[in-house]
Structure 1
Amino acid sequence: MPADSGRNGAEGSYRTLQYFGWMTLFIYLATPGGALIDIQASYILKNQLHATATQISTFRLLTGIPVYVAFAFGLARDQWNPLGLRDRGFFLIFAPATAAALAWMAFSGFSYAGLLAGMMLAMVSSRFVAAAYQGLVALVGQEKLMSGRLSALLNVISSVPVVAGALASGYVSDHLAAKDAFFLVASLNLLIAVLALWKPASVFGHLYEKPQASSTDFLGNVRRLAKHKAVYPAVLICLLWNFAPGAATPLQFYLSNTLHASDAIYSYYNGIFAAAFVPTFLLYGYLCKRVSLDKLLWWGTIIAIPQMIPLAFIHSADLALVLAAPIGLMGGIATAAYFDLAIRSCPPGLQGTLMMLVDGVLALSARAGDLLGSWIYNSDATHGFTYCVIATTVVYALILPLIPLAPKALIATRDGEFSAELEAAEINEIRRS
């Protein structure tokens, strides 16, 4: 069967991409863990409540717990059918709940305990929204045979808040009152609930009736997840890809302490770095319909392995900003391919569970990689950052032996290309369960 066959015509594909484009933008702008709320919360803790660095770090660690155990929210998404509307039910219940938690914090005045309680409530409710969103993306990607295009689209759109947050963090802190920032993000969550009223047939038409949406009871789902061989290479690849010992705190300290750059340079570097991914995300959207995922995984990984090496040779802040663009470009194909692989690797009926497992692994691996990188950086005053770059390069190289572990039928096709072997395997798994 050729690409973009009867399963998903061109017009249906456009409407599907349009729906997920808007949903992705609102989801990433409205997350309580995003740059807008994080910046404001940190300044409230530091300047108004006079919290210490340890207290601020503890605050971030505690409010990040729902992200670390994100798979639990994904499992809830795969088992629960709120309001009889499946994913739209999660949007209609938990997006307003997130907005209410944020508004409560803004109205009640700020205290350490109040911020911690409010942020925990907001993070928990937003994780249900994220689980429904991620599960819906994966389910549609599997059923419509468009995991590659959805990966490219979602990565492009989700880059917007990241780039904007990195480049505008200082301006936001100076010109937007903390209370106003909380109200703004609360309003964006309400817009998600409004968007949930939209039910395009290209996305939801018979969506939950297909084999890919089939599920069992809780224990049965856990067993199926554990036995699904495609899960392990997908999760491990994502873990290694986000485990970058030299990319965060060591780079920040190297720029400010060794190169004597201003604090703004690190923010500008991150903004340029994130923006540079976008062209290669778009390139992936073009290539995925013409090249098999197998090849894209190899190409993307080989290009990405030396991604951080140029940083070992920078001797000025200006050069760091110049190199941020090519460094970002080198990571785009790999990032999109790994997300594409995660979507394809979801067991039937467990799309939310696996995608949120990946989400939690990405967050944990980033924190762990940064912790290791900080230790390596501090271990040698002269060459510590160079060792961080070497460690990051070695970690990325470890992805290569994991690619052959992905089931061949899963990665042998182009985006939109039907695989009778893969569909037969899915049906057999459903029958066994």
Structure 2
Amino acid sequence: MALPIEVTAIPDQAPHPAPPASTLQRIGVLLSGGVVLVLLQFASPAVGLIGLPITFFLKNKLHLDAQAVANFNLFASIPLIFSFLIGFLRDRWNPFGLGDRGYLSIFGALTAAGFGLVAFLPPSYATLLFGVLLVSTGLMLCSSAARALTSAIGQKNAVTGMAGTIVNLASLLPDAGSYALGGFLSQSLEGQQAAAAARAIFLVGAGLMFAVMLFGLFGPRRLFDSSVTTRGQFTFLADVGRLAGHWPIYVVLTIYVLWQFGPAGGVALQYHLSNDLHASDAQVGLWYALFSLGFIPVITAYGWLCSKLKLSTLLWIGTLLAIPQFAPFFFIHSVNDSLVAAVALGVLGGLGQGAYVDLAIRVTPKGLQGTMMMLLISTYWFAYRGGDLLGARLYKEGGFNTAVIVTIMVYALILPMLLLVPKRYTNTVDGQVSALPA
């Protein structure tokens, strides 16, 4: 399992210059696209800086048990689960002729306003649920454009591994910081009134989305020019048919469901750390931060490995390493041991995460990158929240080790799915042109 990660779309014919030819310039454009992904990841009410305090707010101030928090998270994830529809909207609608710049500036401003509105509503279960649903919808509209920026360059230049690496790092780096800050923020708000605690959380989100709006208005022209798409090249039904009829997508999504369906990695883990190992809010946040940090060196190395090894090799090695990701918890009996193990768990999952995202970009049909990348996010949250529900029940009825055993069994199911991936997508290294979908 990995923390929420995202991917990205493709340029077409347009009256703009093609992306720079040099590797250094391509990396520069990809990195500029990573900036807005970093901002969006910090602002997400589902993870880290904002999401972790909300779950602790529900646990500590509203006194909800693990199952109730898992149910809240599932309801709050509705915009995320159906975000593929927003991605399809991005691929077909050009707001005011501004393209992706319009998505980031217009919906960045509206989402910032939504955060501000919710910040001053009386805090309650209903208010928090409404607030998370509202801002998640706006954030997904921005994300559909942001994720469609980076893989556009990666797919066009046959550097999907490099693009996937930057996208992964753009999510993991803020995760590492935001989970640590989120834990400390949650703990620092313990002594405050509920209204002040909720207000602080949502005002942070408002500031971050305001920064997204500014990026949309003043972000580098080279990035937005490189990702211009020809929307409406196909009819609505033709686009639906191209997506639904491209069967490798189903293999990729199944792999991603199995990878993210980790009953041991969500609410069950949070309650295990808090209740069984007696970790503080800050220590729980630190655990998730260290978990993200463990991914980073491996994901960074993937950017080099993908140019030396075929994707098929990386997929098999990454999966074999990922299967026992949560097994160290069988031997952990203290908070300090869990913090040390968090880094190891991230390391075990890093290669698989990089390979799965690389594969997703490679199989994406041209012109539907926004749809596919948001479909990947939908798959992530559907699987993650489903794992949350099962994990909460397993934790309640059989303890945390039961959730770990089930997670290992689910990850093992990825191996036979790799046999179904068409070799034409995996038999090349980064930089070599393969048979990508039309």
Q: Does residue 389 of the first structure (1) align with residue 407 of the second (2)?
A: no
Q: Does residue 311 of the first structure (1) align with residue 329 of the second (2)?
A: yes
Q: Does residue 65 of the first structure (1) align with residue 78 of the second (2)?
A: yes
Q: Can you list the C-alpha shifts for 1:200-247, whole angstroms capped at 9, x where unaligned?
A: 46534464368xx77422221111111112201111111000111222
Question: Which residues of structure 2 form unaligned runs of 5+?
Answer: 1-18, 190-195
CA gap of 1:254–1:110, structure 2 versus 1, over 3 A, is: closer
Q: Secondary structure at the match of 1:8?
A: coil
Q: Which residue of 2 aligns with 1:31?
A: 44
- Mapped to 2, the partners of 1:121 and 1:411 lie a distance apart of 39
Q: Which residue of 2 aligns with 1:152?
A: 165
- Mapped to 2, the partners of 1:257 and 1:173 lie a distance apart of 16
The answer to whether the 8 A contact 1:75-1:350 is kept is yes
The answer to whether the 8 A contact 1:7-1:144 is kept is no
- Mapped to 2, the partners of 1:254 and 1:180 lie a distance apart of 27
For residues 132-281 of structure 1, the aligned pairs below 5 Å read: 132-173=145-186, 175=188, 177-178=196-197, 179-198=199-218, 200=220, 202-205=222-225, 207-208=227-228, 215-262=233-280, 264-281=282-299
The answer to whether the 8 A contact 2:315-2:356 is kept is yes
Amino acid at match of 2:349: G
- Mapped to 1, the partners of 2:227 and 2:342 lie a distance apart of 41
Corresponding residue pairs, total: 413
Q: Secondary structure at the match of 1:405?
A: coil
Q: Specify which of 371, 381, 404 is matched with residue 353 of structure 1.
A: 371
- Mapped to 1, the partners of 2:394 and 2:183 lie a distance apart of 29
Q: Secondary structure at the match of 2:238?
A: helix
The answer to whether the 8 A contact 1:250-1:374 is kept is yes
CA gap of 1:174–1:389, structure 2 versus 1, over 3 A, is: closer
156-165 or 77-86: bigger deviation: 156-165
Q: Which has the larger radius of gyration?
A: 1
Shift of 1:10: 2.0
For residues 343-382 of structure 1, the aligned pairs below 5 Å read: 343-380=361-398
Q: Secondary structure at the match of 1:247?
A: coil
Shift of 1:342: 1.1
CA gap of 1:207–1:165, structure 2 versus 1, over 3 A, is: closer
The answer to whether the 8 A contact 1:152-1:281 is kept is yes
Shift of 1:32: 3.5
Amino acid at match of 1:268: L
Q: Specify which of 132, 135, 140 is matched with residue 119 of structure 1.
A: 132
CA gap of 1:113–1:239, structure 2 versus 1, over 3 A, is: closer
134-143 or 90-99: bigger deviation: 134-143
Shift of 1:156: 1.8
The answer to whether the 8 A contact 1:239-1:365 is kept is yes
Question: Which residues of structure 1 form unaligned runs of 5+?
Answer: 1-5, 427-433
87-96 or 107-116: bigger deviation: 107-116
315-324 or 84-93: bigger deviation: 315-324
The answer to whether the 8 A contact 2:70-2:392 is kept is no
CA gap of 1:317–1:292, structure 2 versus 1, over 3 A, is: same
Shift of 1:302: 1.3
Q: Which residue of 2 aligns with 1:282?
A: 300
Amino acid at match of 1:119: V
Percent identity over paired residues? 37
Q: Which residue of 2 aligns with 1:333?
A: 351
**RMSD over aligned Cα atoms:** 2.8
Q: Secondary structure at the match of 1:330?
A: helix
For residues 45-60 of structure 1, the aligned pairs below 5 Å read: 59-60=72-73
- Mapped to 1, the partners of 2:226 and 2:151 lie a distance apart of 15
Q: Under a length normalisation based on structure 1, what TM-score does the superposition of the two structures give?
A: 0.86
- Mapped to 2, the partners of 1:344 and 1:60 lie a distance apart of 31
- Mapped to 2, the partners of 1:67 and 1:169 lie a distance apart of 21
- Mapped to 2, the partners of 1:37 and 1:260 lie a distance apart of 22
62-71 or 90-99: bigger deviation: 62-71
119-128 or 250-259: bigger deviation: 250-259
Q: Under a length normalisation based on structure 2, what TM-score does the superposition of the two structures give?
A: 0.85
The answer to whether the 8 A contact 2:57-2:186 is kept is no
Q: Secondary structure at the match of 2:351?
A: helix
- Mapped to 1, the partners of 2:228 and 2:274 lie a distance apart of 52
CA gap of 1:391–1:77, structure 2 versus 1, over 3 A, is: same
The answer to whether the 8 A contact 2:79-2:137 is kept is yes
Q: Secondary structure at the match of 1:197?
A: helix
